[in-house]
Amino acid sequence: MPEAFGVPGGPPGPPGHSFACAACGAGSGVEQAAWRCACGGPLELAEAAPFSRAAIDDAEPSFWRYARALPPLDPRHRVRLGEAVTPLLALELPAGRAVLKLDYLFPTGSYKDRGLAVLVSWLRSLRIRSVVEDSSGNAGAALAAYTAAAGIECTIYVPASNSPGKLAQAAAYGAELVPIAGDRAAVADAALRAAATRFYASHNRCPMFLAGVATLGFELVEQLGWRAPDHVVVPAGYGSLVLGLHWAFRALVAGGVLGGLPRLHAVQTAAYPALAAAWAGGADEVDARGGGPTLAEGIACRRPLRGRALLRAIRESRGTVTSVGDDETLEALRALVRRGVYVEPTSAVAAAGHARLATDGTIAPTETVVVVLTGSGLKAATTIGDLLAGRRG
């Protein structure tokens, strides 16, 4: 990536463009159906325009109320499944008080609905009729739901080793599931080959997904009475929450709503610590790392596509990257569920990170910390039951 783009906040791109290539710096707009730059580089969101309270659409009860912050999209193309403002819940956890953002109280049960709702609305605006994707988890379910609502054909490539239970939701919406033998890379390769004839609606690659996730940042600040929390803790695999929140918080700083960025803390699972390793080593780019089983399947990512942007965003916010073991994840899961907060193990990674940061003094008892919980426990009821009963993990 050229030096010119090493500015905090990511490549600005040419004025008026919504996306910018992280490799060559070329800008592009929403009118182009592209999931990567012509040079092959990954697309990022261009620098956010300043956002202030006056830009909110107050008549809109969902995250579309922040639509003026996002790349331009005619409201008539919005695909809706009943999105609400997700609740905040202040809770006394063993490591201290935290404000939990229950960002799984969405139609398909995970925060990915923010990103996929926006991504699929964009696809509809471009009259895309058929898409492919590779995901066996929450993103696949969300893509299947929103494409079903939009009348877009959806094919999802999945590892042949996946349990049918994990795929039941996407299949129920009517998506075609294609099992692929081999590892995760083989599945992605199969999707890429299929992308020769259909649009590759990769949530990890299309920056419109990030734009949707960014609505979380605006929503949090509005819910907190237009104040920034001191800290925000998120689970991190590909890092969409880090990038989306950073983008939104920068827009709010630029708009004069916030005096500075909240500190962004990315928490990984010890089995997939690529970002944590790069962070610990003071690197500017993230190398592939990790593998094997983990309780936190949702962030089992060997190498994030936008590693450089992730490191930059976390540094700019004076945040941290940490990784937690499955034992810490399980302990955090138990603490949440036994208080009535029913989340997927991947969500508990953020709570485990909060415990670590509260214990080591990074987060002071007097500071406000938001812990983002990303997936509903209803998606993993049997697993959670076994884990808490000591039959697994």
Residues that bind a second copy (CB under 8 A): 61-62, 80-89, 100, 102, 105-109, 145-146, 148-149, 164-165, 168-169, 171-174, 337-342, 376-379, 381-382, 384-385, 388-389
Residue type, position 25, single letter: G
The C-alpha atoms of residue 153 and residue 174 are separated, in whole angstroms, by 9
Q: Tell me the C-alpha distance between 243 and 258, whole Å.
A: 18
Residue 310 CB, nearest approach to a second copy (Å): 28
Calpha distance 225→240 (Å, rounded): 24
Least spacing, CB of residue 258 vs a second copy, in Å:
22
Minimum CB separation of residue 375 from a second copy in Å reads 10
102 vs 180, beta carbon nearer a second copy: 102
Determine the Cα–Cα distance for residues 297 and 312; give it in Å rounded to an integer. 25
Q: Quick one: angle between helices 345-359 and 381-388, nearest 10?
A: 50
Please identify, using beta-carbon distances, which residue of 86 and 268 lies nearer to a second copy.
Answer: 86
- What secondary structure does DSSP assign to 231-256, as a single string? EEEEE-SS-HHHHHHHHHHHHHHHTT
Q: Which is nearer to a second copy, 49 or 381 (CB)?
A: 381
Half-sphere exposure of 27 toward its Cβ, with a 13 Å CA cutoff? 14
Q: Which two tokens stand for residue 389?
A: 């009963």
C-beta closer to a second copy: residue 165 or 256: 165
Tell me the two tokens of residue 218.
């605006």
Q: Walk across the sheet containing 19-21 and list its strands.
A: 27-28, 19-21, 43-45
Q: Which is nearer to a second copy, 126 or 171 (CB)?
A: 171
3-state secondary structure of 339: coil
Name the residue nearer to a second copy (CB basis): 100 or 350: 100
Comparing C-alpha atoms, which of 332, 266, 258, 321 is closest to residue 295? 332
Closest to a second copy by CB, 272 vs 342, is: 342
d(CA 256, CA 254): 5
Tokens of 259: 């005096």
Least distance from a second copy to the Cβ atom of residue 248, Å: 20
Task: Quote the least distance from Cβ 56 to a second copy, whole Å.
Answer: 16
- Minimum separation from the CB atom of position 167 to a second copy (A): 8
- Nearest approach in angstroms of CB 341 to a second copy is 7
Round to whole Å and give the CA distance between 343 and 360. Answer: 25
Cβ proximity of 364 and 297 under 8 Å: no
CA angle 120, 122, 126 (to 5 degrees): 110
Nearer to a second copy, 145 or 211 (CB): 145
Give whichever of 23 and 335 is closer to a second copy, judged by the CB atom: 335
Rounded to a whole number, what is the largest CA-CA distance in the chain? Answer: 56
Q: Sign of torsion, CA 204 205 209 210?
A: positive
CA separation for the pair 249, 194 (Å, rounded) = 36
Smallest gap from Cβ 295 to a second copy, in A, equals: 14
Q: Using the 8-state DSSP alphabet, how is residue 389 labeled?
A: T
4 vs 59, beta carbon nearer a second copy: 59
